[in-house]
Structure 1
């Protein structure tokens, strides 16, 4: 009887089963028969222990994906794009195996908006990517929208900011004394706890509307330097030195500087009202109170 129930469950394919994916598995394994795609055979035992059926494939190798075509009607796409170029070839390869009328939850990035000068915006804000990372995400969103239109798919896009949590805090940066921007030059950043993001993905599977975008952000309204100061104070580390933008450009790598060059605040009304998510960690301060000090 138990075996019959197991195989009668709807199938869910999780693509990109890293930290957030591993947090998602315990939330979905009772409702779905879960398959987890990995390119590392050595992860099979870990994935089985978490309640998933591991599948070996490589998103950069389309031939390895062909046998998965039509495997599941529910798909969570957590895999990042390739590290170079302006197109997401991996997502193109994924759409080739998606069945018609499937449900897809795609985890994108809030970086698609570029710099908004600290303005508060909702999901109707046009995208304006400013770097290759964001361009690849915009490309992935467009590819998935084209699939959904062609195949009558149900696509929900979650635009995600900086993910944090125990083990995902800027402690190394703080210990190294990496500088931050001075208050007058600083940028607003958005946040989501990794556990809350896993719960948002589950809510999108349950209630996500077709062709709908959701901001997977918490209620935090902090500038980046204030975030670093808050984490430093919690762990008894020195606050980072503050520099103006010109001086900071000489002190940090261009990639790091790019993260400190975009300022935006994002509403989460759809997250709360449509997906009915109640955040376990509504802001960074609430989460830090639950994270053990060093």
Structure 2
């Protein structure tokens, strides 16, 4: 089985690292020649794709693709993959599974209440509205195609090299407190096993929330990371006084708890890291931030 990935970024590369051996061939796209060299040094064949500028060899690869993972966000209001390759994807003779990585941000603000895949999206930002539009385009493509399309709405992603342990270690962690605020998270290993489970037993045009079992306040994650490292946590900063970029502040406008029952009941997934505490402990055990970890 051959895997092709549009967008060989952090999450996709984590998936390949864990499950690449399950595929006969693995390749995908990058935006620059520099990234192409970096990816191919990892043993993954890479092709340039930057909007309308793309390597025509991609079309040949799609003809031999069995599983297609899309990790490219909308650009200028359009899905760039569908804009350039929808006909080639629809005609791909071997294709049986398509996975599109979206975001739980499409649900918007729920005032801290629970949402699931049956909850109507209520996107507050332009980015989230573009995600909903892209999801719908992929589902429409799948409705008339012989392959199965899956939408994976990802929570806040963390994993090796990108987590609260790193932020506490390098001094960039902020303990911002907004009463009642919770965020949803997911470890990259659990994203990867959800994707692999779906490839092994695809459903037609299904949406999955990919989140752990315990939404929680962001300051609690920083506290626990500091505790694991044997450090004092950074001081608490009231949200109204925090110096944040507009994008960072926008994350606090959405407050919801994301249910993950479907990945368990339909895909049979048992989360390796059901809470952020499990995930951070696992990262410590794997050597994350080893130079400053608690003796």
State the TM-score bracket (shorter-chain normalisation). Answer: 0.7 to 0.9
Is 1:180 matched with 2:176? yes
Q: CA offset at residue 118 of structure 1? A: 1.0
Q: Which residue of 2 aligns with 1:135?
A: 129
The one of 162, 184, 202 aligned to 2:156: 162
SS at match of 1:222: coil
Aligned residues: 278
Q: Describe how 1:257-268 pairs up with structure 2 within 5 A.
A: 257-268=249-260
1:30 aligns with 2:47: no
Deviation at 1:215, TM superposition (A): 1.0
Residue-by-residue CA offset, 1:31-61 (whole Å, 9 max, x unaligned): 4322222334445565456554x14231412
The change in CA–CA distance for 1:175 and 1:221 in structure 2 (over 3 A counts) is same
Counterpart in the other structure of 1:121 = 115
User: Following TM superposition, by how much is the alpha carbon of 1:243 offset from its aligned partner in structure 2, in angstroms?
Assistant: 4.3
Q: The residue matched to 1:151 in structure 2 has which SS?
A: coil
Which residue number corresponds to residue 149 of structure 1?
Answer: 143
Which deviates more, 130-139 or 156-165? 130-139
Where 1:289 maps in the other structure, the secondary structure is helix
Residue number among 4, 18, 21 corresponding to 2:12 in the alignment: 21
**Gap change, CA 1:261 and 1:219, over 3 Å in 2:** same
Residue equivalent to 2:195 = 201
Alpha-carbon distance, 1:212 to partner: 0.5
Pick the aligned partner of 1:97 from 85, 88, 92: 88
Q: 5+ residue gaps in structure 2?
A: none
8 Å contact 1:118–1:264 — kept in the other structure? yes
Question: TM-score, normalised to structure 2's length?
Answer: 0.83
Mean CA deviation greater in 260-269 or 34-43? 34-43
TM-score by length of 1: 0.83
In the alignment, structure 1 residue 289 sits paired with structure 2 residue 246: no
C-alpha deviation, 1:92, in angstroms: 2.9
How far apart, in 2, do the equivalents of 1:177 and 1:98 lie? Answer: 42
Over 3 Å counting, the alpha-carbon distance change for 1:34 and 1:132 in structure 2 is same
Pairing 1:271–2:256 present: no
**Aligned match of 1:247:** 241
Q: Contact between 1:187 and 1:261, CA under 8 Å: does it hold in 2?
A: no
Contact map agreement 1:114 1:128 (CA 8 A) in 2: yes
- Which residue does 1:87 correspond to in 2? 78
Partner of 1:219: 213
Tell me: CA distance 1:291–1:177, structure 2 relative to 1, closer, same or farther (3 Å).
Answer: closer
Structure 1 unaligned regions, length at least 5? 1-9
Residues 158 and 213 of structure 1 are in contact (CA less than 8 Å); yes or no, is this contact kept in structure 2? yes
Does the CA-based 8 Å contact 1:12-1:75 persist in structure 2? yes
Partner SS, residue 263 of structure 1: coil
CA RMSD of aligned residues (A): 2.6
**Contact 2:215–2:258 (8 Å) recurs in 1:** no
